[in-house]
Structure 1
Amino acid sequence: MSSHRPGNALPFLLLQAFRTLIDELHVRLAEAGHPDLRPAHGFAMQMIRQGGSISDLGRRLGVSKQAAHKTVGGLEQLGYVRRTPSARDQRQVDVVLTERGMEALMLSGEILNELREEWAETVGGPEMTLVEDTLARVARPGGIERVMGWLGS
């Protein structure tokens, strides 16, 4: 079966769909009391949840230690993370999510579940499952990590 779209349309369609989803997520997060969160914060908080230092965060996100430090500073000012002495190494400081940070991640998951269901209502449940299954087959495992560095943030 031949597609009526050129191959170069695919990345833009995927990006537009992603942007639509993430923009609506942030509208709803703002309505729920998290108006200052940005998409980059979400990626960072997912990686912070895994534990570790600012250097660990930088490696996971694929950004410099300075960029990770700046991200942590911003999230710290907003009350989503805090620094704490490392249990592994007295010379290091770990970054952990605060209660507000955990709340924001949980809420994000709930909103994304709602948005997924809304999309399924729009395109049809079987079609939505087909899209997800197809993307899962072609996506590289672990691709979410290091996305920030890949995007040039």
Structure 2
Amino acid sequence: MSRSGADLALSLLGGFRTLVDAAITELSRRGFDDVRPVHDFAMRAIAAGADTASELGRSLSISKQSAARTIAVLQERGYVSREPDPRDARRKRLQVTELGLEVLHTGEEIFDGLREQWSQKIGAGAFETFETHLTSLVGAQPVRFDTPGWMARDLGSRLE
């Protein structure tokens, strides 16, 4: 059976969606029922240094207004905070809170478990070969933090 390039792209996207949906379901089961994929992208960008709405917007390839809405949601839920900048008292810097770090670490544990489930499903050797081939095709760092931006430039209505 011959498949098209579009079928391959949809299968890869389906794999991503399957993993993300399972992770979100498990996060909810573990008490984090208010976390969405974009929240993970945003918290990772903030942890990596995007400590203002403008910087977060650039990092995620979304508008400053969308970044501000994301920040407001994350603050309301206790995942990020604004702290005074030690170098400039007029400036407030974003930081991921302990709760936010707990969500990120819990999500990583869940993804490790999902990876293991996939490995068991097709066999460890076949899965290792799959990962090796996939890495050779997409690179060792296939996704940047700005990934949400390439699908839709204004994510504001989908952040909550």
CA contact (8 A) 1:53 1:92 kept: no
Change (3 A) 1:87 1:129: farther
Change (3 A) 1:59 1:5: same
Q: Shift in Å at residue 35 of structure 1?
A: 0.2
Paired residue type of 1:37: V
Corresponding position of 2:158: none
User: Does 2:147 align with 1:147?
Assistant: yes
Higher relative contact order (CA 8 A, sep 6+): 2
CA contact (8 A) 1:49 1:96 kept: yes
CA contact (8 A) 1:82 1:95 kept: yes
Residues 1-153 of structure 1 aligned to structure 2 (within 5 Å): 4-51=2-49, 52-139=51-138, 141=141, 143-152=143-152, 153=155
- Segments of structure 1 that go 5 or more residues without pairing to the other structure are none
Q: Shift in Å at residue 89 of structure 1?
A: 4.2
* Aligned-partner Cα distance in 1 for 2:119–2:84: 45
* Aligned-partner Cα distance in 2 for 1:137–1:92: 43
Aligned residue pair count: 151
CA contact (8 A) 1:81 1:96 kept: yes
* Aligned-partner Cα distance in 2 for 1:142–1:92: 34
Q: Is 47-56 or 118-127 further displaced after alignment?
A: 47-56
TM-score scaled by length of structure 2: 0.87
Paired residue type of 1:41: H
Q: CA RMSD in A?
A: 1.6
Q: Shift in Å at residue 138 of structure 1?
A: 2.3
* Aligned-partner Cα distance in 1 for 2:129–2:44: 26
